[in-house]
Every structure is written in structure tokens, then in C-alpha cells.
Chains A and B, each alone.
Chain A
């Protein structure tokens, strides 16, 4: 295996992006930040890979228009996944492992506010027995939350604690679209939205984009004193049928953690949990120790640009390795309904 590290990261998160759904004009300055961090030009990037969705944009081939932001003369080596950009990162990491390229720039973008997000996402469900009912993402997450409450695995107070910690931490995150902790009592006094979820239990509808730069070996060392070396990367998916899954668990997350050899020694974890109870599920499934610092950025509850929220977790965790806050950091990304698909990425300061 080749040694590959995260060496660059730039992001934007906003409640309502005033611009086109292909976000090309948003991506240009983000790429510029990545060039500045690395000292490279676009000719130094061996492979480009993006994550986005035409359903979110409301137009076909939206990722092709986004490529204007790269500038493609001479032509570039490029690919796309209809997934969170964390999976684009996985593809780019594989591409580097093949030896074909040494560097990659991974990006994701999504303008969730263009449509009704919780409704648009019904299109990712089984089109025969689920989509015709248009079960929205918030409702599906609420069914999952209640299963755990009824089983005694967590309660509304534990969910509120997650929210309170996230929004308190988000006060220090300049990109957060929602921030400001209060108290568990105050949060529990707020009205239900999708019983047993309150609005703050769900990630805010967020527009945005992000980019991550990967580099192998000496290329990475040229850019940073302490690259965030990827020492574990795996992803799994649970089945299509919601009914056959134990929704209080995330078997795919657990298997991914096992596949990377376990998560002992992780100090900081950025968990992609768009709903408060999903952080409780992930923490348990990943087997994280009690002293692991969770989501210092505020996590997805503070801002969750679609098709980028997971990649941002990887970027945020990498930053903690770069600056020495953590020797070993973890990031997860999720996609699909009720934590159906999960990716685990472990990064370390020393190989």
C-alpha cells in the first residue's frame, strides 16, 4: 500500500446560497484556497473526483457544469460519484493506490435549499414500495430515534445533550450555519417537529461545497510538516429494505471500524450524524472510548451541506492532525436513509 495523506482542505457552508446549483462560482475560490495551501497549480493535481447529485440541483449533468471551476485545458483526469464526496475521496485514494497518480483533489457541492430537501431525498429510497409514499428523511430518522428510545438505548435527554454540545462547539466554527448552545432543559422544552425529534435534532438544510487534497509519500511531505496520513479507510452498506435492518444499530459502521483494524487510540472523532440520535448509534457501533472528543467542529448538526457533509468531517479531523491537537483522528461519513451507508477514515500524524 502507498502512504497517502490529506494535505489540503477548504469549505463553505451557508443556509441559502445565492447562486447556481452547479456551484461552479462557489468552487473557484475553494480550489484557490487548496492551491494556496499546497503551493500547487491545477497541473499538479493528478486526479479530480467529485460528489454531488442532479436531484439536488434539479438539472441533469450538474457535475459537468461544475467542472468549469477546474479549467480543463489541458484536459484533466476526472470522475464523479452520486454520493457524499467522502466516497469520491475513497475513489481518489484507490486511484493513488494504483500508482497511476500521486495527487488528487476531491470536491463535493450541493444546493439543498433549491428544493425541499427532506422530500428530494425520498428519491434515494426503494422506488417500488417506499418512494411512492414520499417518506421524508426526517420522518425516517424519527422512526429510528423512537425505536432506540423504546428499547431503552437512549432517551430524549441524551439526544439533547448531543445537540447542546454540538451547538456550543459550533460557536468556534466560522462555517457553522447553526450555533449557540443553551441547556438540555431548554432544548427539551422546545416543540416537537417529527415526534420524537425537535427541529434541533436534525441537521439544518445547508448549501455549500468543500474540497480536500490528497497526496502520496514525499508529495505530501512537501506540503505539510505533519500530513494527516490515512491509516485506515473502509466503507460498507446495509440492506435496501428498512424493515430487515435493525435501525437501532449501524452494522455497516461497525464493519467499517473492524475493517480498519479497530479504533483504539483515536483521540478526536468527527462523526457524520445528521440527526442527534445517530451520533449515539455511531459512538456505540464504532466502540469509541469515553474520552474520545466528539465533533469539535460542531458536527453535522451545525451545518450539513448535502454531498459534502461527510467530506467536511474528514477535512475537520485532518486539521486536528495537522495542528498537533490529535495524534490519531477519526472521521465518518454517511449516506442513504437512517445511516444506511457508512465510511470510516482514520488519520495519524506519524506513520
Chain B
């Protein structure tokens, strides 16, 4: 058994930005099937156009169209492509200096083997049929002398923004202490860790005491009964919400713990929730348990009298 629990996690979002006058002009060009470059103060034509001249730091204002053909000035073979790249089979990344430009563009070249690409190879743009005004509207292929048919874009006007989908896959590991907590939950136990110096009990446990900076070594089994120290009533619907509002999310100080655990309080009208309310964990059926806090469906009033303020005042 591994020391720690791990699980796959995907972090994804759409990088959504306005692009401004310089990149907007370049991306509009791509959508229309043209490469737009900038004329810099040193006389070089550069594609993609930088927003500011690297020498004078002035905003770029001179634009020129360059050819859709060019020359490979460096290349590499992507033997093991990763997700999101222009091809999901081996291909070449290359620096392509377009005819009329003085600096190369990094892009993909569609060839079947590294034997089919070399420095100096002549290449030509191959435009996607549906173009949105993104660098992915085009790839390159060896130039056979004939241009591929360019389908006119479906939209007009200038490209003013981009949406770049970002999605990253991780194998997310818990710390050894967090792993002990989740393994405990799979057995119906709530496990915390005690700091050897300040003696505070953390649940969920942390790998180090945030007060003392020492490992929390001693495992402590906690009661599944506790006290509400603070709460909020969720009235706002949001993406991914599993319960219909209004409902209560609360900090619950389990008996024997020094830090409150966040969980749901159900089985009580939301207007009756209060600080000091005594609650008890409601576990899901045992056959549904995994290494997750969701083994506890929610907390519900335990029926005991409210806790004295003094019993939890130091944990607010």
C-alpha cells in the first residue's frame, strides 16, 4: 500500500481575454486566411506582431501582410505528443520564417516522419475550413507548389477576443496525515492529529502544526458529535451545487478537536440554526463508504442542550 492516497484531478478553465489592436489584427488575419506581421523600428518584419517594439518599447503601428509560404529555420520531432497539441500523432514543431518576414513563427508541420523535414524545407499554410481567429486556424505542410483551397470565413468584423481552453490533468496526492484521515473515514472513524508542542488537535489533520511548524505525529480518534461554532445560510444557487438552497454550511467543533470542520447541517429549519447548537454526524449506509468526507452525509441536531459559549469561545 502506498504511503499516501491519490486520485486523478483535472483543473480546467477557459482563458478568455480581449486581444487589443495588435493581436486582434493578427488574429483577424488568421481568420481571413492571411498572416499579418509588424514592421519594427530596426526594419525587421515580425510575425506574430509584438504589441510593443522590443527596441523602442513603442506600441506597434506598422503592419504588413506576409506570404503563406515560408522556410523551416529549425525543427524538432514530437515523438510523444501531449494533449492539446495540433496533432495527436507524432509530428514536427518548427520555426517557420514566412516569405516577407525576418523572424520565425513557431508552429506545427504535418509530416509523417522526421525524415520528411529538414532545415530549409519549404512549407505552406494549410488553413482550417472553419476559422475563429486563433493560432490553431492553421498548420503547415510541405509546399507542393499548389495552394490549398481557402474557404471564406463565416463571420466578419475584427476579432476582439480569444477563448483558450486550458485543461490540466494531475495525480493529486494527500499528505500522509490527510491519507490517515481519509482511510479512517472509510472505517467510520474520524481521525485527527495532535501537535506534540502545543497539543492542539487538527481535523482534518495537517502535515505540520501551522503554529509550531512541527509534524503532527500523534493520531487521535474524535467523536462524531460536536458544536456549531459559526454558520452561513446558503441562498445563492451556483454551478455544481448538490442541494437546493436554502441550506446551512457550518463550522463544527468536534468533541476533542481544536479546529472546526466544515460540513452541512440538515434536518433542522434554517432559521433555527445557532451558535452552540449540538450536532451529530449522519453517516451514509456503510456499503456506500469510500475514502471520502462524503461518508458523512451531513450533521443533524443531537438533541442535547446547547453548549456553553465558554466551551467554544477560543475556537472562533
Binding site for B on A (CB under 8 A): 18-21, 24-25, 27-28, 31, 42, 55, 58-59, 67-73, 111, 113-116, 118-120, 122-123, 127-136, 139-140, 142-144, 146-147, 150, 192-197, 239-244, 247
Contacts and interface: CB of A to CB of B under 8 A. Distances in A.
Contacts of B175: 19-20, 24-25
Interface size class of B (residues with CB under 8 A): 35 or more
Nearest to B79: A193
Contact of A73 (B11, B174, B211): B211
Cβ-closest 8 pairs across A and B? A71-B213, A142-B76, A25-B207, A58-B170, A134-B84, A20-B175, A243-B103, A195-B77
A192 B85 CA distance: 20
B213 A133 contact: no
Contact of B105 (A69, A193, A243): A243
Given A116-B169, A244-B50, A132 B210 contact: no
B208 A69 contact: yes
A71 B106 contact: no
B19 interface: yes
Contacts of A21: 170, 172-173
30 contacts: A19-B176, A20-B4, A21-B170, A21-B173, A24-B208, A25-B177, A55-B168, A58-B9, A68-B209, A69-B207, A71-B211, A118-B82, A123-B168, A128-B19, A128-B164, A129-B48, A130-B106, A130-B135, A133-B135, A133-B136, A134-B84, A136-B82, A143-B95, A147-B95, A192-B79, A195-B76, A197-B76, A241-B50, A242-B95, A243-B47
B173 A19 contact: yes
A243 B108 contact: no
Nearest to A145: B76
B111 interface: no
Given A19-B3, A127-B15, A143-B95, A133 B106 contact: yes
Interface in B268-291: none
Interface in B103-148: 103-108, 114, 119, 134-136
A244 B85 contact: no
Contacts of B191: none
Interface in B133-186: 134-136, 162, 164, 166, 168-178
B250 interface: no
B168 A120 contact: yes
B225 interface: no
B17 interface: yes
Given A111-B173, A241-B50, 19 more contacts: A18-B4, A19-B173, A21-B170, A21-B172, A25-B208, A27-B208, A59-B172, A71-B210, A116-B83, A119-B82, A119-B83, A129-B135, A132-B162, A136-B85, A142-B77, A147-B95, A196-B76, A241-B48, A244-B40
Contacts of A197: 76
Contacts of B84: 119, 122, 132, 134
A200 to B, nearest CB: 15
Nearest to A240: B50
Interface string B27-47: 100000000000010001011
Contacts of A114: 170-173
Given A20-B173, A134-B84, A58 B168 contact: yes
A131 B163 CA distance: 11
Nearest to A148: B74
Nearest to B3: A18
B23 interface: yes
B100 interface: no
Contacts of A123: 166, 168
Given A18-B4, A131-B164, A244-B46, A143 B93 contact: yes
